[in-house]
Amino acid sequence: MGKRLQILVIGNNTRGCTSKHEDLAYQTGAEIARSGSVLVTGGLGGVMSAASHGAHDAGGLVVGIIPQDDASHANEFCDIVIPTGMGLTRDFLNALSSDGVIIIGGGSGTLSEACAAYMSKKPMVALRHIKSIVDPYIDQYLDHRKLVKIIGVDTPKEAVQIILNLTSSH
């Protein structure tokens, strides 16, 4: 058995996270687990916790890379916690630890992670029809370099399938 695919889910933390974000994140985490991939998140609340919960309930493996230096800050669904003590700089670790990224809503922290993933040429998809800082970039590139297009999707199942398809060619 080779290395398992690692899919990062990013989006709203506890502030700004609606029940719709949580439901979509839960479904996404479950889809990631069913695909046999590892879920990677920032390990905290909101979308991160909901995706972790979904992956956990579907029997998946959940890795939380947290900004604090104490593992107790991670959400209860993380199987593996990596306390970085790096604060928001850990966004780069999250991006570099993934093979692909799924964006569910989010604010400036999500944009920071998306930019880190973009500069590392990681495949990215974003769920449409939910308020997100990346809305202007869905089906677009973040800048003139055109490194990676953020592909818009309508469902968690579609999000995971596109990441699987994009990463199988690498």
For the segment 152-168, what is each residue's pLDDT rounded down to a tens digit? 999 999 999 999 999 98
Q: What is the pLDDT of residue 106?
A: 93
For the segment 113-130, what is each residue's pLDDT rounded down to a tens digit? 999 999 999 999 999 999
For the record, the structure tokens of 49 come out as 């916790």
Termini Cα distance of the chain? 17
For the record, the structure tokens of 43 come out as 């390990």
Q: Is the pLDDT of residue 34 over 90?
A: yes
For the record, the structure tokens of 13 come out as 């933390």
60 contact partners, CB below 8 Å, separation of at least 6: 29, 30, 32, 33, 34, 37, 38, 39
Q: Which of 26-35, 68-77, 128-137, 149-158 has the lowest mean pLDDT?
A: 128-137
Q: Are 95 and 117 in contact (CB under 8 A)?
A: yes
CA–CA dist 84, 132 (Å, integer):
26
Q: Are 54 and 27 in contact (CB under 8 A)?
A: yes
Q: Cα dihedral angle (168, 163, 52, 120), rounded to 10 degrees?
A: 90
Backbone CA torsion sign across 131, 5, 28, 59: negative
